[in-house]
Amino acid sequence: MPVVDESGALKRFMRPTAMAGDAYDARHHDYSWQRRNLARLMSNEYPLPPSPAVIAAAVTALSESNLYPHSGEALRDALAEYADADPRSIVLGNGSTELLDVVARIFLGPGDEAIIPVPTYAFYETQTRLQMATPVLVDLSENFELDLGEIRSRVTDKTKMIFLCSPNNPTGNAWSGQQLAELLEPGLPVVVDQAYLECGHAESFAPMVRTHPNLIVMRTMSKGFGLAGLRIGYAVADPFVAATITRMRIPFSVSLVALRAATAALADLPDLAHRRDYVVRERERVHAALAKNPSVRPYASEGNFVLIDISGMGLTAEEVVDRLQEEGLLLRAMKAHRLRGAFVRMTVGTTDENDRFLAALGRLQEPGQTRSRPLEPADAGAGAG
């Protein structure tokens, strides 16, 4: 008996949404775990491990792993205080990814439309398609600014949601509260993903949820807090919306280990401040070095990554990614993010990794270094993250 039903015999029993659209492509994660020798400058992870206090809390929780976790009430209260929100507004999730999927399932169905300014994180588009809804992709301006007029002109009676990302992955820039207020004004649900908030100094929109019940803010402890492997994120939403998200999400999706580690991380805000300082300092150092290089154009960023226009190098994005991989550095080309042209996105790594990246990029520009060759059939940079 085949283990996998390759014939698709059960397809006729499946809901059409199970077949709709391409799912989020996460192959790059396996690709990088199989190559731990490569510097991970591709998934916008935090480069340093959690603090000893966070690790100790997680290890202690492991000894109680025979028990189901609780709903994390104390953590939700602490997050509410930290984010300046009503405690009833906080919903925990297995990473913000779980909650982004839940809001797509709550608001979107066949024939509906979701407006998504692009380039951006690919997950909004994949989850929209999986609900058999239509992503209405609205280009950012040439300098990656939001085109509010264009977004509002694309609203129809089928529009059920607007997705925003601030700071935006992969461009790195952030939107203002005033821009957001304009988009909230007609009353449509607006989901703002603020995954990178702790990696820079972008404006937090969580407090605006009190006055705008159609605003849903997504936050995570994966990036600036450096806990991506633990999978803990949260939504900040009007209490009615928050209760609906809670109804629709899987109970116990956040493990006891994640709850305890997150609580310990949140109790040490000076450590978070150091982490933010580190990533901002390294990001600005990389940006300044790249800005001196006439063949590339780095974009200012409030995230833990720098988008780089490499069109002046005479190589394609895939060639640069391949060549850097030969130098031990894993980066991403940006096709899945709907970024046209020759761009790579570099996640800010450790000081040593960043130096290696700058040196390797410099070597690629030495005469005689240009060539064309596919390195791996499964393009390590093709997925989204």
Ligand X SMILES: Cc1ncc(COP(=O)(O)O)c(C=O)c1O
Closest to ligand X by CB, 131 vs 304, is 304
Q: According to CB under 6 A, which one of 75, 165, 262, 361 is a site residue for ligand X? A: 165
Task: Return the number of other C-beta atoms located less than 10 Å from residue 55's C-beta.
Answer: 13
Q: Are 140 and 151 in contact (CB under 8 A)?
A: no
How is the chain split among helix, strand and coil, in percent rounded to 5? 40, 15, 45
Q: Is 125 in the site for ligand X (CB under 6 A)?
A: no
Spatial CA neighbour of 55 closest among 192, 234, 257: 257
Q: What residues numbered 18-57 form the site for ligand X, per CB under 6 A?
A: 44
Q: Is 222 in the site for ligand X (CB under 6 A)?
A: yes
Q: Are 231 and 134 in contact (CB under 8 A)?
A: no
Closest to ligand X by CB, 131 vs 222, is 222
Q: How far is the CB of 280 from ligand X (least distance, A)?
A: 18
Closest to ligand X by CB, 193 vs 319, is 193
Question: b/e per residue, 98-136, with b = 16+ CB within 10 A?
Answer: bbbbbbbbbbbeeebbbbbbbbbbbbbbbbbbbbbbbbb
Structure tokens at 252: 């116990």
> Under rule CB under 6 A, how many of the chain's residues touch ligand X?
14
Q: Is 255 in the site for ligand X (CB under 6 A)?
A: no
Q: How far is the CB of 174 from ligand X (least distance, A)?
A: 12
Evaluated on CA atoms 313, 319, 322, 327, the torsion sign reads negative
Q: Are 189 and 160 in contact (CB under 8 A)?
A: yes
Closest to ligand X by CB, 44 vs 354, is 44
Q: According to CB under 6 A, which one of 228, 243, 289, 358 is a site residue for ligand X? A: 228
Q: Is 121 in the site for ligand X (CB under 6 A)?
A: yes
Q: Is 233 in the site for ligand X (CB under 6 A)?
A: yes
Query: How far apart, in whole angstroms, are the C-alpha atoms of residue 291 and residue 268?
Result: 35
Q: Is 96 in the site for ligand X (CB under 6 A)?
A: yes
Q: Is 214 in the site for ligand X (CB under 6 A)?
A: no
- Binding segment toward ligand X, per CB under 6 A, in 90-98, 136-144, 320-328, 338-346: 90-98
Pairing of strands 233-237, 215-220: antiparallel
Residue nearest to ligand X (CB): 95
Q: Which residues bind ligand X (CB under 6 A)?
A: 44, 95-97, 121, 165, 169, 193, 195, 220, 222, 228, 233, 385
